[in-house]
Amino acid sequence: MPRRILIVEPTATHRIALKAALVAAHYEVRAVATGQEGIRNLRGDMPDAVIINGCLPDLTIDNFCVATAALGKDVAPPVLAIIDEDTTAARLAVLGGGASTVLLRPIDRGWLLTHLRSLLRCHETRAELRRRIDTAAQFGFSEDPGAFTRPARLAIVGGDSQHRTAMARALRRRSVDEVTLMTPTDAISASEEAERAPEVFLLCPAIDSESTLTLIAELRSRRGARRASIAAQYEPGDRAFAARALDQGVNGVIRSDASPEELNLRILRHIRIKRQTDALRDSVDANLMMAAHDPLTGLFNRRYGMRYLSNLAKQPHSQDRGYGQILMDVDLFKTVNDTHGHAAGDQVLRQIARRLQDNVREGDLLARYGGEEFLVALPDCSIEEARIAAERLRVAICGAPMTLPGGSRIQVTLSIGVACGREAPDALLERADRALYAAKAAGRNRVALADATWPAAGGMTGRVVPLITPRNRVG
């Protein structure tokens, strides 16, 4: 099932054009003419995002956003507002009213879809955390997300000194407590540890836009910045860079000529969403640590993983996509226990768990399935995305030896089976398990896929492709 978008647009021609563009991009679309109709639709079936005219005849945008937030709790859908006049007053009105971002009419289809994809990625991460909290509640654990009181931390990165200093002064004067000016090298260094990393990185325009895109990739690869919010400024005439930055994973783009008031509103939104997401994540940790975690590795346990997969299977999926399972088994693990003892085996399992946790994608769930088996659940993914994720995990384990209690080191590898579909978790797991044993039979330290086709209805079926990635030389 595709993602659901609600359009609130009083002009029929605009409404029809927007709906046609979104349907062509495989979204499920509902279109209404008034704000009140939009709110009634929200009460029935909450969409994944809302596209709204910034000037409705019957309802102000702030009233609409307040109603949306109340119905959506802490994971209300993002609101993308469209305005007819590119003025500071118009932009401030919709952003101050609660819109996630604002676009100017006439709308370029590619520009619209790029922004929509970015908003949906952010929303889905928060919705994913909310699903985990709801799963925990089924075990009898429920703790509401708490509030953050620490000072807001922002880093302004790159750009010329005068531009950075002016922005820092404006933001300090309005709302942001801690503003640090950084070079790209400083930003990468600060992102190595979560305790030092800013909550938000604001990337200034660079003469060479490719260097900014490289910086985005570098920041996202650092543990401390993996969950930071990244905003990139762009010149008004360089939408191509802004679109690439959004698709590469920044949380938002801001025009370089934005007024101080607009810049402040956008940065405050980045901080608010970041803190809401962190609060959801902390709530997940508090609710589930004892009830749903494996005591040896600290990962989710099998019981929680299977309950989570049952919830995941019920979620809507886009065309040619489903949810994925990566099933991993430590090769020849019995030899580790027999040769070095069970204490050594336990230490190896803990090291494997840490490496896997450091390399799973944001939003994926990692569980210890049992013994020396591990499971990753991937929401809304394709089989190719699941394969890439599995290969990254395989390399993370075989790329460096494990340390034993006495200080000696041994090489450890994984055999991995991957399946992607829409069927019940047990059926999908059976296909992943067959693929796992095919990887074992093909020589171990490999990723194998459950071959699949998409039928008109139901789940995926097909034979197992035993060898997808060759075994890397290790040691």
CATH number of the domain within which 421 lies: 3.30.70.270
* Six-digit token string for 397: 């384990």
372 in active site: yes
Share of the chain above pLDDT 70, in %: 88
Whole-number pLDDT of residue 290: 64
Of 305 and 142, more confident: 305
Model confidence at 143: pLDDT above 80:
no
| Residues pairing with 181 in the sheet | 156
Model confidence at 289: pLDDT above 80:
no
Model confidence at 368: pLDDT above 90:
yes
Span 199-205, mean pLDDT?
Answer: 92
Query: What's the rounded Cα separation, in Å, for the pair 171 and 261?
Result: 9
Q: Check if the beta carbon of residue 464 is closer than 8 Å to that of residue 434.
A: yes
Query: What's the rounded Cα separation, in Å, for the pair 311 and 303?
Result: 13
Span 420-444, mean pLDDT?
Answer: 93
Instruction: Indicate the pLDDT class of residue 293, thresholds 50, 70 and 90.
Output: confident
Please indicate, yes or no, whether residues 205 and 244 belong to a single structural domain of this protein.
Answer: yes
Whole-number pLDDT of residue 172: 84
Look up the pTM and report it: 0.60
Whole-number pLDDT of residue 452: 55
Flag whether 13 is in a domain.
yes
Can you give the CATH number for the domain in which 63 is found?
A: 3.40.50.2300
3-state secondary structure of 177: coil
Q: Check if the beta carbon of residue 182 is closer than 8 Å to that of residue 219.
A: no
Whole-number pLDDT of residue 461: 38
Share of the chain above pLDDT 90, in %: 55
Whole-number pLDDT of residue 45: 80
Whole-number pLDDT of residue 463: 40
- Taking all residues of the chain, what is their mean pLDDT, rounded to a whole number? 86
Give the angle 274-218-388 at the CA atoms, nearest 5°: 90
Whole-number pLDDT of residue 387: 92
Please indicate, yes or no, whether residues 103 and 165 belong to a single structural domain of this protein.
Answer: no
Query: What's the rounded Cα separation, in Å, for the pair 304 and 310?
Result: 10
Span 329-348, mean pLDDT?
Answer: 94
Model confidence at 462: pLDDT above 90:
no
Model confidence at 316: pLDDT above 80:
no
Whole-number pLDDT of residue 141: 58
Model confidence at 385: pLDDT above 50:
yes
Span 386-391, mean pLDDT?
Answer: 93
Please indicate, yes or no, whether residues 260 and 222 belong to a single structural domain of this protein.
Answer: yes
Beta strands 322-330 and 414-421 are antiparallel
Model confidence at 373: pLDDT above 90:
yes
Query: What's the rounded Cα separation, in Å, for the pair 294 and 353?
Result: 11
Query: Residues with Cβ < 8 Å from 348, sequence gap 6 or more?
Result: 330, 333, 336, 402, 404, 410, 412
Span 165-187, mean pLDDT?
Answer: 86
Among 455, 318, 384, 379, CA closest to 23: 318
Please indicate, yes or no, whether residues 39 and 161 belong to a single structural domain of this protein.
Answer: no
Span 94-98, mean pLDDT?
Answer: 91
Among 40, 88, 86, 92, CA closest to 61: 92
Please indicate, yes or no, whether residues 334 and 198 belong to a single structural domain of this protein.
Answer: no
Query: Residues with Cβ < 8 Å from 295, sequence gap 6 or more?
Result: none
Range of the domain at 329: 302-465
Flag whether 32 is in a domain.
yes
Flag whether 112 is in a domain.
no
- The count of domains in the chain is 3
Please indicate, yes or no, whether residues 346 and 441 belong to a single structural domain of this protein.
Answer: yes
Span 195-209, mean pLDDT?
Answer: 86
Could you say which of 261, 288, 315 is where a domain stops? Answer: 288
Q: Check if the beta carbon of residue 475 is closer than 8 Å to that of residue 452.
A: no
* Six-digit token string for 237: 């005439």
Please indicate, yes or no, whether residues 311 and 411 belong to a single structural domain of this protein.
Answer: yes
Model confidence at 441: pLDDT above 70:
yes
Tens-place pLDDT, residues 83-94:
999 899 999 999
Beta strands 464-465 and 153-157 are unpaired
Please indicate, yes or no, whether residues 102 and 169 belong to a single structural domain of this protein.
Answer: no
Could you say which of 53, 79, 107 is where a domain stops? Answer: 107
Flag whether 138 is in a domain.
no
- Active-site hit among 372, 373, 385, 423: 372
Instruction: Indicate the pLDDT class of residue 475, thresholds 50, 70 and 90.
Output: very low
Please indicate, yes or no, whether residues 435 and 390 belong to a single structural domain of this protein.
Answer: yes
Flag whether 99 is in a domain.
yes
Whole-number pLDDT of residue 453: 39
Model confidence at 377: pLDDT above 80:
yes
Span 176-181, mean pLDDT?
Answer: 84
Tens-place pLDDT, residues 15-35:
999 999 999 999 999 999 999
Of 149 and 98, more confident: 98
Please indicate, yes or no, whether residues 284 and 159 belong to a single structural domain of this protein.
Answer: yes
Which of 298-330 are b and which e, b meaning 16 or more Cβ less than 10 Å from the residue's Cβ?
Answer: ebbbbebbbbbbebbbebebbeebbbbbbbbbb
Helix segments in 201-341, DSSP class H: 209-221, 239-248, 260-288, 302-313, 333-340
